Structure 1
Amino acid sequence: MNSRQLVAHLNKLAPPRYAESWDNTGVSFGNLDREISKIMIALEPSEVVINQAVECGADVLITHHPMIFKPVGSLSYDSLIGRKITKLAQNNIVTFSMHTNMDIAVMSHKSADILGLVDTRILEVTGTEIIGGKEENIGFGSIGRVEECISLLECVQLVKEKFNIDNLRVIGDMNKSVESIAILPGSGKSFINNVIKEGVDVLVTGDIDYHSASDARDLGVHIIDAGHFETEYFFVEYMESYLKELLEKVGCEEISIQIAVEESPFTVV
């Protein structure tokens, strides 16, 4: 299998047409006709991850976040982006990201499954697709309910357990009764109004800044800020499982999969 064939499969999983107009999802770099012997999966195309891809001899690096968001004016090795691209070029590594298209195609639904939510629906609908022979809404985030009402404190413990998190931030009354939960992996501050409109008991997300938190408190919106990295890392685990199944199906079991060693850039002290 070459990189072009792999990309075709990945685009079926998360169609590029789902991506937001500002997003730079897809192939960032590399020769798509190169044959693949090893794939590395990571959340972030950081320099640490790229160094690992070089060291392990990866032919393809698949990430959730794109390597390039804004136009690059210089590829000088003195710059971070210049160093990253130079290392990829010197080692002929194809980089491919699945970002907002993956959020819509997989991440929103899978995150609700991880929490065990039932009766789920989309938090912010962006369109419709024919799925399984019928028209379905697609979009960002999921709303669902827990089968038995719990307190916000118990909801916090659920999130920590299911996403393997030691510490997180909470806005709201820990004794509040929770039945409906909205979850938006990654950065969710722009979806607070959706939560208010839908009358959801709590939003689970990441990247809530001070002013958004203050406004949410005044508006009576309960939020569990579980972290950007922490709420999206399951992308790596999902893709590992998906690729193993795909490679077996197409008779390419000889292609190996390597998981990058990553951690949140934040250290809680």
Structure 2
Amino acid sequence: MFAKGQTITQILEQWTPKYYAVPDDKIGLQLGTLNKIIKNVMVTLDVTEQVVEEAIEKDIQLIIAHHPIIFKSLKHIQTDLPAGKIYEKCIKNDIAVYIAHTNLDVAEGGINDMMANELELTSLSPLEEVHTEKLSKLVVFVPEEAHHNVLEAIFAAGGGWIGEYSHCSFNIKGQGTFLAQDNTDPYVGEKGKLTKVNEIRIETIVPQNIQRKVVQAMLKAHPYEEVAYDLYPMDLKGKSFGLGRIGRLPEKKTLAELVSTVKEKFEVPMVRIVGDLNKPISKVAVLGGSGSRYVQQAKYAGADVLITGDIDFHTAQDALADGLSIIDPGHHAEKIMIKHVSDYLLAELATKKISTNIIQSNTNTEPFIFL
């Protein structure tokens, strides 16, 4: 069974929801339609004319990319210009283009975590906070014999997390009452008679972004025809999500040793370096893409080095004067996302028994040649 485009992007958005993106970022469907059957998806960092040619050759119906193909408002589409040629070829060959940009940067396991994990960084936290989870308290009343099943269903759906602690709940025994009317089919008791039931009141925490999923799981596991439950919005701060990551190396390295690791792990032929190659490094900040404006955040966070792309001359001078080392592997280091996004989609589609193929683009979109 092949999936429609909406199904595939919804699966991706379970990992990289759109509300993670920074304001005004250009994400989501940018070209074509998702309202069609998708046999083949191609994952790429960029959508260039060569990437589209590869997609045509491989019978691709949907391209999932990290970098937007439409970033500024269009005043025209001229098909004799580079951008216009891309749009024309996609439209003529019925290829949709979907973008996961800063929402993929911010997401847990997204590009910044991919980079941090390649370097084996520990104790990770965001370099700049973008989004904080809103929390709700779920309260539900359950007959004693169904307590375990309902509680486990809530936990399995993602409820009950407080920080790094899972399965958090508070449970109070009490007595519930109800009187079943004529058109009911009560789980216990009789119609027309007041029924008293030994119940347990479950209280737990639910992130609002998965609130519907948790409630549905709870209702499915609950034996009652009509379930008594409440949801209360909370002012407590939930998990923070953001751009970049800062963490610690398992063992100190010199800047030169870390440079070698970066070149190997990110598969780049060369990097630009700011700082003393003999400097000991223990705390590392990483940020995929262009990171010039995050130099001060890295310094304030106590980083010994910032690993990011597109560092300009004056920013490099300022960092050097401030004692912050920089390793610039280039913007194209974000190509790490191709394999990880492909693997995620393949695994999720397999669990749903969807036959849509996920193909990694082999087109090199690095615009620079290194001599």
Both proteins in one fold, TM over 0.5: yes
Q: Take 1:179 and 1:123, find their aligned partners in 2: how far apart are those partners?
A: 16
**Cross-structure match for 1:233:** 335
Aligned to 2:92: 90
Residue matched to 2:41:
39
Matched, 1:246 2:329: no
Q: What is the number of equivalent residue pairs in this alignment?
A: 267
Deviation, 1:108, is 2.0
Q: Which amino acid aligns with 2:41?
A: I
Between the aligned partners of 1:34 and 1:126, the Cα distance in structure 2 is: 33
Letter in 1 for 2:65: T
Does residue 1:114 correspond to 2:118, yes or no? yes
- Per the alignment, residue 357 of structure 2 pairs with 256
Structure 2 residue aligned with 1:69 = 71
Does structure 1 conserve the Cα–Cα contact (< 8 Å) formed by 2:22 and 2:130? no
1:28 aligns with 2:30: yes
The whole-number CA distance in structure 1 between the counterparts of 2:241 and 2:357 is: 33
Secondary structure at 1:233 match in 2: helix
Unaligned runs of 5+ in 1: none
Displacement after TM superposition at 1:52 (Å): 1.0
Aligned residue runs from structure 1 range 1-269, under 5 A: 1-105=3-107, 106-129=110-133, 133-134=161-162, 135-230=238-333, 232-253=334-355, 255-263=356-364, 264-269=366-371
C-alpha contact 2:269 2:370 (8 A) present in aligned 1: no
- Report deviation, 1:210: 1.3
Q: Please state how far the C-alpha of 1:21 moved relative to its aligned partner.
A: 1.5
Post-superposition Cα deviations, 1:98-134, rounded to whole Å, max 9, x if no partner, equal 0001100012222211110111111111231268723
Give the secondary-structure state (helix, strand or coil) at the position aligned to 2:281.
strand
Give the superposition deviation at 1:32.
1.4
Unaligned runs of 5+ in 2: 136-157, 163-237
Calculate the TM-score normalised by the size of structure 1.
Answer: 0.96
**Cα distance in 1 between the residues matched to 2:344 and 2:117:** 16
**Deviation of residue 22 (structure 1)?**
2.5
How far apart, in 2, do the equivalents of 1:209 and 1:117 lie? 26
Counterpart CA distance in 2 for 1:118 and 1:124 is: 17
CA distance in 1, matches of 2:292, 2:307: 10
2:326 counterpart SS class: strand
1:72, distance to aligned residue in structure 2 (A): 1.1
Going by fraction, where is helix more abundant, 1 or 2?
1
How far apart are the structure 2 equivalents of 1:69 and 1:36?
A: 25
CA distance in 2: counterparts of 1:128 and 1:77, whole angstroms: 42
Q: Which amino acid in 1 is paired with 2:296?
A: N
Letter in 1 for 2:338: V
Partner amino acid, structure 1, of 2:105: D
Letter of the structure 2 residue corresponding to residue 260 of structure 1: S
2-structure distance, mates of 1:226, 1:147: 21
> Cα offset for 1:43?
0.2
Q: 1:142-162, CA deviations, whole angstroms, 9 ceiling, x for partnerless residues?
A: 111112111111111111121
The amino acid of 2:276's aligned partner reads D
TM-score of the superposed pair, with normalisation by structure 2: 0.70
The DSSP-based 3-state class of the residue aligned with 2:262 is helix
Q: Cα offset for 1:24?
A: 0.6
